[in-house]
Amino acid sequence: MKNKEEEVNENLQEVADQTVDQDINAGENATEQNPMAKLEADVAEMKDKYLRLYSDFENFRKRNAKERLDLIKTASEGVLSDLIPVVDDFERAIKANENEENAQKIREGNLLIFHKFMKVLENKGLTPMQDLIGQPFDADTQEAITQIPAPTEEMKGKVIDVVEKGYTLGDKVVRFAKVVTGA
């Protein structure tokens, strides 16, 4: 079963072929004498241009959709390849910590890996929200999980504690900071 687009294309092609045949048979003098034949030729030419333009647009749309899917599939590749060395460090630390009894060395190793991990994230544009305590509550970047009586009068409506850090990627909030506000 043919779809509508194929039927329209066939019909337009038949009309174009008929018009061209009529123009050839009638000759140039007949075209000058018969304005209808000239109009039909113009219509056939315009339909042909329309079909070509439509076909080009459909090809562009399909190519664009394919490129967009490829981009989505590989968008996180850069981040993941930068995180692989951090995973390797974690694996080495876990293996080294199996026999280590000195907690200070374990803590220092974990801090080194943590800082390396945070540096990778910051290089990709992810930044933690800093210095929220004492600042006015901002519903655009923070989520108030509870309110407690403010320790001082000036702390009313301000952030008293941060339960979970918030993060931004450029100007976009990736994760809202979960805070406690003063009532």
**For residue 165, what pLDDT is reported?**
85
Same structural domain for residues 9 and 69? yes
* Measured CA distances, 60 to 14, 51, 56, 65 (Å): 26, 14, 6, 9
Task: Give the residue among 107, 37, 117, 39 at the shortest CA–CA distance from 82.
Answer: 117
C-alpha–C-alpha distance, residues 41 and 34, integer Å: 11
What's the pLDDT score for residue 4? 66
Would you say 110 and 97 are in contact if contact means Cβ atoms under 8 Å apart?
A: no
CATH number at 174 reads 2.30.22.10
The verdict on 67 and 110 lying in the same domain is: no
Q: What is the predicted pLDDT for the residue at 58?
A: 94
Give yes or no: residues 60 and 104 share one domain.
Answer: no
Is there a single domain that holds both residue 106 and residue 168? no
Shared-domain flag, residues 50 and 88:
no
Q: Does 96 share its domain with 108?
A: yes
Do residues 98 and 135 both lie within one domain? Answer: no
Report field, pTM of the whole predicted structure over 0.85: no
3-state secondary structure of 38: helix
Q: Are residues 149 and 120 in the same domain?
A: no
* Token duo for residue 53: 């333009």
Residue 141 and residue 166 in contact, taking contact as beta carbons nearer than 8 Å? yes
Return the closest-CA partner of residue 175 out of 136, 146, 132, 142: 142
Does one domain contain both 143 and 95? no
Residue 173, CA distances (Å) to 107, 123, 128, 133 in order: 31, 17, 10, 18
Show the domain range for 90: 76-124
- Cβ atoms of 123 and 144 within 8 Å: the answer is no
pLDDT in tens, the chain (183 residues): 456 667 766 766 776 666 556 555 555 554 456 888 889 899 999 999 999 999 999 999 999 999 998 887 777 777 777 788 888 888 888 887 777 777 788 888 888 888 888 888 888 888 888 888 888 888 888 888 888 887 888 878 888 888 888 888 888 888 888 888 888
Q: Are residues 172 and 132 in the same domain?
A: yes
Same-domain pairing of 54 and 88: no
**Shared-domain flag, residues 88 and 130:** no
Number of domains in the chain: 3
Where a domain ends, among 104, 124, 144? 124
CA nearest neighbour of 169 among 115, 129, 114: 129
Sign of CA dihedral 97, 100, 103, 105: negative
